[in-house]
A and B are shown apart, each in its own frame.
Chain A
Amino acid sequence: MNKRLNLVITALMLFGILLTACSSTTELPQETIVPDATEAAVEPANESEITPTPTTVSVGGNCTGTPVRWYIGLGAGGNPEEIEKETAFLEKFNDKYGDQYCLTMDVVQNATAYDVLKTQIASGDVPDIVGPVGVRGLWSFEGAWLDLTELMEKNNYDSSDFNPALLDFYKLGPMGQVGIPFAVYPSALWYNKDLFDEAGLAYPPHKFGDLYEGKTWDFAALRDIAIILTVDNTGKTPADDGFDPTNIVQFGYDAMWTDVRGKWTFFGAGSFNDNGKAVMPDVWREAAHWYYDGMWTDYFIPNDNYVNSDYLTQGNTFNSGHVAMAPIHTWYTCCAGNVPNWDVAAIPSYDGTITAKLHADTFGILKGTKNPDASFAVLSLMLGEFAPDLIAVYGAFPARGSLQTAALDTMKANFPNVDLDVFVQGLNYPDNPNHESGMPNFLKASDTYTAFGSNYQTAGDLDLDAEIDALIAQLQDVFDETK
C-alpha cells in the first residue's frame, strides 16, 4: 500500500515536472485588438500622458435593490479619468434608484477585457449589462447576448427618439436586437493645417460634395495632393526624380487604426459576405489597389514598417505630426494632442459616391444574466434618463436625436477652432453595410482578413489580385466551416 502510494506521488511529481517544463514561463500577452469604435478612445494623447490603467476595478454602491452588474472594457471606459466619471455616475444612479436596483461596475482594461469577460461567462459569473461596446465587440461574443426584442415589447420601450436605421443597426442576424443605440461616431477627413500651409496647398473642402480647387473632391484629387504632401529627407516628393522611398519624413495620407474593411469602405460600403458566399466587392478591389499603390508605388501612405516606427509614434500616425490627412471618427479628439492646428474636412467621393464610415456604440445584456427584467430596467434608465450623464462620461455624440444639439454645442466649446459641423454632415453618408458587420464564423473570418491586411501592409511585391482571390477562397472555407 505504502509503496503504491509512493509510486503514485512519484508519478504525479514527474508528471508535474514535465508539465511545468512544457508550460509557459512568462505571462501570456493579451491580444491586441485593432482599435475601433470607442476602443481607440482609450489611447492617451501622447506617451508622456500614459497613466497605468488598473486591470480590473470593481466598484459597488451602497444600495439595497436588485443587484445589477455593469461590465466596462470592451470599448471605452478603462482610462483612469473615465473610471472617476463612471464612479460618479454610479453613485448618482444608486442615490436615486438604489432602493430598487443596486448597480455595481467592473472596469477592465481593454487589452484584457475580452478574455476576462469570456472567463466570467464560462465560469457562470456573468455580468448583466455590458458596454459601451461596438459592433465588432458584439460579434466577438456571438451567441452570448440577450435578444432585447421581447423585453422592449413587454416594457413598451419608447424608441421614437432614435433614427429607426440606427435601431436596426443593432439587429445582428440570428442574434436579434442585441443593443439599444447609445452613441454614434461619424467620420471626417482630419488634416494638419501646418503641413498644408507649408506646401502652399488649399485646405480640403469642409462641405461634403463641394469642389476642391475647381475639381471634384474625390480620391483621385486626394491622391494628387497627398503626393505633394509626401516628402523624403531631402525635401523631394514622390513626383520628383531622385525621391528616396526609404527615407520618407512626411506622408500625405493614412487611414489609421482600422483594418482593411475600414480602409476600403471609404470607396463604397461593401461586405465580404453575400449570404454565406465569400465575395470581394468590385469597389473594394479598386480601393485595395489604390491603397496598395499608395503604399508601395506612390509612397504617400506609410507601409507597416513606417507605421510601427518611433517616428510615426508606432501607430498613431496623424498625431506624430508627419501625416497630412487621415480619415477618422469623432472619438479621435482624444488622441491628436500633438498636432496643434488640425481641422476636419469632407470625405472625398469615389465614382460619384461619398461614404463616411460610421462607428456606433451600444450597451447589451448578456443571456446569462440572473435578473433580465431588472437589467433591462437599469439599461433603460442608463440610456434614457441618465443618457446625458453617460454621454458626458464618454465624450460621445448621442444617438438620441433630442440630445444631439446640446452635445454638439459642448464639443464646439471644447474645440472652438474645429469645424465640427463636418461630422454632422458625415452622418448622412454612413457605410451600409457597415465595415464591422457580421460574417459567418465571424471571429475566424476576421482573423483571416486581418492576416491578409498584415501582409498587404508589409510586403510590397504582392500580386495583389491573386492575393485577394486567395483571401476570398480562404474566407469561403471559413464561412463553410459553420455549415
Chain B
Amino acid sequence: MELSPVAVNTKRIDTVKKRNRNGLTPLEHEREKWGYLFLSPWLLGFLLFTLLPILATLVFSMTDYSPVNAEATTFVGFSNFATMLTDDKMWISLWVTIRYAVLAIPVSFIFGLVLALLVNSKHLVGKDVFRTLFYMPSMIPVVAGALVWAGVMNTQTGWINVTLKTVGITGPDWLGEVEWIYPALVLIGLWGLGNLMLTLLAGMQGVPNELYEAAVIDGASGWRQFRHITLPMISPVVFYNMTLMLIGAFKYFDLAYVLKNGTGGPSDATLFYNLNLYKNAFTYNLMGYASALAWVLFLIILILTILLFVTSGRWVYYAAEVRK
C-alpha cells in the first residue's frame, strides 16, 4: 500500500519527534551508550594513566620538582626551558640523535625492503622458513638482545672480531670507538627489522598481479616493475614505516643504555636525547628539567611528523584517492 504524501510527512515528523536532543533515535542512543561503555576501559585508562601524567609533566616542567625532596619544590616558570638553551648536554644529545637517525633510517629501511623483496620472490624456496627466521629476532626483548650483542661485539672474545682475526684482520672496537659505535648500533638494529619486513611484504602482496602482467607484456624489466609499480603501490606502507622509524629514532634509548651502562660513552657518542632525559629524571632527580626536555622532544617529533604528512601528498599513492 502506497502512502500519501501527507502520511509520509506525518511519519517523518513522528520519527523526528522521537529523536533526542542529540538528534539520535532511541535505538541509536542505545547503541551509543553501549559504544561508550565498551570504550570506557580505554578512556579511563587513557585519562588516568596517560593524560593525567602528561598534564602533570607539563606542570612539573615549570618547577624544580625532585622526587626525593618534593617539599622543596618551587615554581620556576619557563626557566627549565631557558636552561636547555645553554645546556651543552642537551645539544650534544640532540645532535647524537640526529646523526643516528640520518644513518639508521635509510639503512634500516633499505635493508628491510631488500628482505621483504627477498621473501616475496617467487624464486625463493622455503619462503615461510625465511620469513619466520627473519622475523624471529624481533620477538626477543631489546635488553636481552643488547646483552647478547655486547658479547658478540666484544673485541677480545666476540665472534665478529674473533672471526676477523682468523683471516688476519684486527677488528675494530665496535662499542668503544666513536667512529664505530653508530655503525654498531645500526647493525644491531638491523637484527630486529622483522616488523618492517612484514609490513612491507604485506604491502607487496597487496599489489594487483594484473599490473605486473601488463608490465611484462609491455617488456618492462624487473627494476622498472619495482620502480614504477611496486614502490608506488606500497608507498602508503612506506609512509607508515617512515613515520614510525622517525619517531623510533628520536625515542632511541634501550640499546644505548644497556650497551654503555648509561654512561653515554664513548665521548658522549651514545648520549641520545632520551638517555639524557632519563639521566636528568632518574639519576640526577631533576624531574622538572626532565619534564621540560620531554615536552621539547614531543614538539620536535610532532613537527617532524607533520612535515612528513605534509610531504606525503607528493610521494604517497592511495589507489582509492581521487586526485584533484
Contact = CB atoms under 8 A, between A and B. Distances in A.
Do A and B form a real pair?
Answer: yes
A29 B258 contact: yes
Interface size class of B (residues with CB under 8 A): 35 or more
Contacts of A16: 46, 50
Nearest to A3: B22
A24 B21 CA distance: 43
A466 interface: no
Contacts of A459: 176-177, 266-267
Contacts, number: 119
A159 interface: no
Interface string B188-228: 00000000000000000000000000000000000000000
Given A121-B70, A122-B67, A26 B284 contact: no
A176 interface: no
A458 B266 contact: yes
B157 A311 contact: yes
A413 interface: no
Nearest to B274: A24
Interface stretch (B9-17, B121-129, B147-155): B147-155
Interface in A448-473: 450-451, 454-455, 458-459
A454 B67 contact: no
Contact residues of A: prevailing secondary structure? helix
Contacts of B21: 1
Contacts of B67: 118-119, 121-122
Interface stretch (A302-310, A348-356, A357-365): A302-310
A29 B247 contact: no
A451 B268 contact: yes
A141 B143 contact: no
B170 interface: yes
A432 to B, nearest CB: 27
Nearest to A478: B284
B166 interface: no
A9 B156 contact: no
Contact of B265 (A122, A246, A308, A455): A455
B120 to A, nearest CB: 26
Interface in A404-445: 441, 443-444
Contact of B247 (A21, A310, A455): A21
Contact of B39 (A9, A19, A32, A118): A9
Contacts of B72: 143
A51 B141 CA distance: 21
Contacts of A122: 67-68, 70
B70 A9 contact: no
Contacts of A26: 141-143, 254
Contact of A304 (B157, B176, B283): B176
Given A21-B247, A450-B263, A141 B68 contact: yes
B23 interface: yes
A339 B317 CA distance: 67
Contact of A305 (B156, B243, B267): B156
Contacts of A32: 261-262
A186 to B, nearest CB: 28
A119 B66 CA distance: 11
A445 B15 CA distance: 74
B264 interface: yes
B51 to A, nearest CB: 7
B145 to A, nearest CB: 10
Interface of A: 1-2, 9, 12, 15-16, 18-19, 21-24, 26-29, 31-32, 115, 118-119, 121-122, 141-144, 246, 304-306, 308-311, 441, 443-444, 447, 450-451, 454-455, 458-459
Given A22-B251, A115-B282, A305-B154, 12 more contacts: A12-B46, A16-B46, A21-B243, A122-B67, A142-B69, A305-B176, A308-B150, A309-B156, A310-B154, A455-B267, A459-B177, A459-B267
14 contacts: A2-B24, A21-B243, A21-B247, A22-B301, A28-B254, A143-B68, A143-B72, A246-B155, A246-B156, A306-B156, A308-B150, A309-B156, A447-B279, A455-B266
